Chain A
Amino acid sequence: MNVAKAPFAVVVTGVWLHLVAPWAAAQAGQGLGMLQVSVQVDGLSCPFCAYGLEKKLKKVENVANLEIRISEGRAVITPAAGTSVDLAEVERAVREGGFTPRALTVTARGRLTRLHGAPALELVDGSMLLLAEGGETDALLQSAQGSVVRVEGQATREQPKGHAGHPYTLTVRSFETVS
């Protein structure tokens, strides 16, 4: 190796390790996980009091970004790339922040699979998001079984009997096949 080029090689390797490698790894995992979680917050008429809500929601694991939209009565969470947030924790944080959580809207990217016969979305960290049968889910299953899909829908705390793990079921409103 040309000794004069050694420093250049070190720099290139460093750039690769710090910038390109994580991106490549993410691509390998195809960026699975939750992309956005939005929770409707009732009682949010006092922006002054939203300090408590912000404080509690930021403590939820994997929350990378938080936006509290007072005029919409909604808190929008962006999880860290390739992760998901515990929806039960989100609801608990809203309650402990002094407000009442209502509809949870989740946008996630995952691999379409089945869990004990029920349709589910497998997220990157191994957690499963059950999909409510019927409607858009049926269309999704017919066109994208086994594929990585991006879905958006409303999550409700309904745990079908015999299913451990994620206690939320996603009613799919829209989807697109990623691969």
Chain B
Amino acid sequence: MRRARAVRFRRRRGRLTACVGLAGLLALWPNLAQGQGPPINTENAFVTGLNGAAFRTFFLAFDRRGLQADGTNVTDPLRRDVRVRGQLFILPYELVSNRLVVMAVLPYLDKTLEMGPPGDRRRLSVNGFGDVAIAAKLGIFQRDRPDQTTRAALFGRVKLPTGTDDTVGPDGQLLPKPLQLGTGSTDDSAGIILTHSVGPVALSGDVSYDFNTTSQDFAVGDVLHYDVAFGYRVLPRIYRTFPAKQINLYVEANGTWSRHDTLASRPLADSGGRLLLLSPGVQFIPGAGFLVETTYQIPVWQEFNGAQLEFQPTLKVGIRWLLF
């Protein structure tokens, strides 16, 4: 029994060789699915208005290449290049006025891994809908003053294993776990959000934790997310009558601290670590009920366990559209 388990472990371990250093691909998307604004990548504690009724979608693109081993850059013998393109769809619904919002998050993903020497590159690719998440945000504190507000909210999320996790490559072998569209596991997250807004200035922050579970002996490591966003309304300088054209600038810090992934309950050395992104962004609101936003996320701190591919800058472009 123990021997069979060991053989199975070695076989899975072998399949994982090609995906060493890609672990963050699976852990990353739930973080990107948050941020129902106004900040772009950070949550805010409002549970009404656009937070409760606006369909949101955004396109994101990020790459991983260049091997980092124990904090130093080394040559990747496999010359791997990972590209992820995604379109996320978020539909919130204000279940209890100014108290409780529920939302569904559906990602469409396109993941590609290329590796091998020039002239003999091997390409693995998959695309389709990833795991659906159902989330809820509960307002727990609100203190309003003229032209300012301070709010706090709790949020929780359940990610369901709706995305395929058994896609095979051209050779008939299962694609590496991080390349799959779904994790195959049902994972929970919980966190807290704080927002303070005075006139044209807004500050938001959130902390959340992903409790990831095991599927087919494999588990993505738990992830601690932390985000801070500073926003400033550039135009109009004096907002007289709603609605009016509006431009907001943001600077955000978006961080994750991931634990090791595990295979058969054993931690995988080349997984987990710390990642901090600095995210300048801009929102344009042309009138009532519609918003366009974009942000460019620059990795400023990458400290991974073992050997892992580095994150390259991420681009997000999105819209929010008031439905009802």
Q: Report which A residues bind B (CB closer than 8 A).
A: 40, 42-56, 67-71, 73, 95-100
Contacts and interface: CB of A to CB of B under 8 A. Distances in A.
Interface string B227-245: 0000001000011111110
B197 A97 contact: no
Nearest to A50: B242
B48 A97 contact: yes
Contact of A54 (B54, B242, B244): B242
A96 B48 CA distance: 8
B282 interface: no
Most buried by B among A46, A47, A53, A96: A46
A70 B147 CA distance: 8
Contacts of A71: 238-240
A67 B148 CA distance: 19
Interface string B39-53: 000000011111111
A95 B47 CA distance: 12
A69 B197 CA distance: 17
A128 B144 CA distance: 31
Interface of A is mostly: mixed
B202 interface: yes
B289 A73 contact: no
Given A43-B149, A100-B144, A67 B241 contact: yes
A50 B49 CA distance: 6
Contacts of B239: 47, 70-71
A70 B144 contact: no
A108 to B, nearest CB: 24
B198 A45 contact: yes
A70 B146 contact: no
B285 interface: yes
Nearest to B197: A45
B14 interface: no
B48 A52 contact: yes
Interface string B129-162: 0000000000000101111110000000000000
Contacts of B52: 52
Nearest to A44: B147
A98 B98 contact: yes
B255 interface: no
Nearest to B246: A47
Nearest to B151: A43
Nearest to B54: A51
Contacts of B289: 51
A42 B53 CA distance: 22
A42 B144 contact: yes
A96 B49 contact: no
A95 B147 CA distance: 16
Contacts of B147: 44-45, 73
B240 A70 contact: yes
Given A46-B202, A96-B98, A68 B48 contact: no
Nearest to B320: A48
Contacts of B240: 69-71
A36 to B, nearest CB: 15
Given A50-B49, A73-B147, 14 more contacts: A42-B146, A44-B147, A45-B147, A46-B38, A46-B46, A46-B149, A47-B239, A47-B246, A48-B37, A48-B38, A49-B48, A50-B242, A52-B98, A98-B49
B50 A51 contact: yes
Contact of B288 (A51, A56, A95): A51
6 contacts: A42-B145, A47-B242, A51-B49, A52-B49, A95-B97, A97-B98
Interface in B65-107: 94, 97-98
B322 interface: yes
B188 to A, nearest CB: 27
Contacts of B146: 40, 42, 73
Most buried by A among B49, B145, B147: B49
B116 interface: no
